[in-house]
Each structure stands twice: as C-alpha cells, then as structure tokens.
Amino acid sequence: MSVLLLWLLMNVQGADPAASQNAAGGTYKTTRTMPVLEKCLYDELSDLGEATFMRSQGESILMVRDGHGSPLIVDISPPTVQITTKASLDVQARVRRCV
C-alpha cells in the first residue's frame, strides 16, 4: 500500500511542469533587450497595482501587487518572458505587446 501511495505521489508531482507553467500565464519569445522589456512591462502593468522589480544577473522579475490575492509575477530573461502566475487575457495581451 505504501509503495502505491509513493508511486502516486511521485507521478502527481512529476506531472509535466512546463505544461503547468505555460498554463499559468504564458511564455513568450522576444528579441528586445532587458531595459526595453522592463520599461514596456512596467508601463503596461503598473496601473494594476504596486510594481516592483527584483533583479539578478541576466534576469529580472516584475511583481505587481494590487493588495488582493497573489501578486502577478513576470520573469524577464531574454530571449524569453514568462508570466509565472495566473493571468487574465488582458494581462497576457499587455505582455504580448511588449515582447
């Protein structure tokens, strides 16, 4: 019985992580530079709430909080931009305009 539970647990956690991440908000390819992406995404999304960047070498994360629920998180690491949280179609369209 414990072997069966362990197997089920491993298979549930082992579900395709790329599919679940893509279902969250989307992954987009871009040819734009980091500064251009940051400015555009900030301009497009800052009206949704408090926007904050967390930066590291070659990557930037934009977090937008509106005070209700989970924040919107956009991972900016050219040549990809990924919305890692659930996002409305409006937010997805705004991100697509920037990439």
Per-residue confidence (pLDDT) for residue 5, from 0 to 100: 43
pLDDT tens, residue by residue, 2-33? 444 445 555 544 444 444 444 478 999 999 99
Checking if the pLDDT of 77 tops 50, the result is: yes
Checking if the pLDDT of 93 tops 70, the result is: yes
Per-residue confidence (pLDDT) for residue 13, from 0 to 100: 44
- 1 versus 83: the higher-pLDDT residue is 83
Do 79 and 29 touch, CB atoms closer than 8 A?
Answer: yes
Non-local CB neighbours of 34 within 8 Å, separated by 6+ positions = 58, 60, 76, 78
Closest listed residue to residue 81, CA positions, set 89, 92, 90, 71: 92
Task: Tell me the CB-side half-sphere exposure of residue 67, using CA atoms within 13 A.
Answer: 3
**Mean pLDDT calculated for residue range 76-92:** 95
What single-letter DSSP state applies at residue 58? T
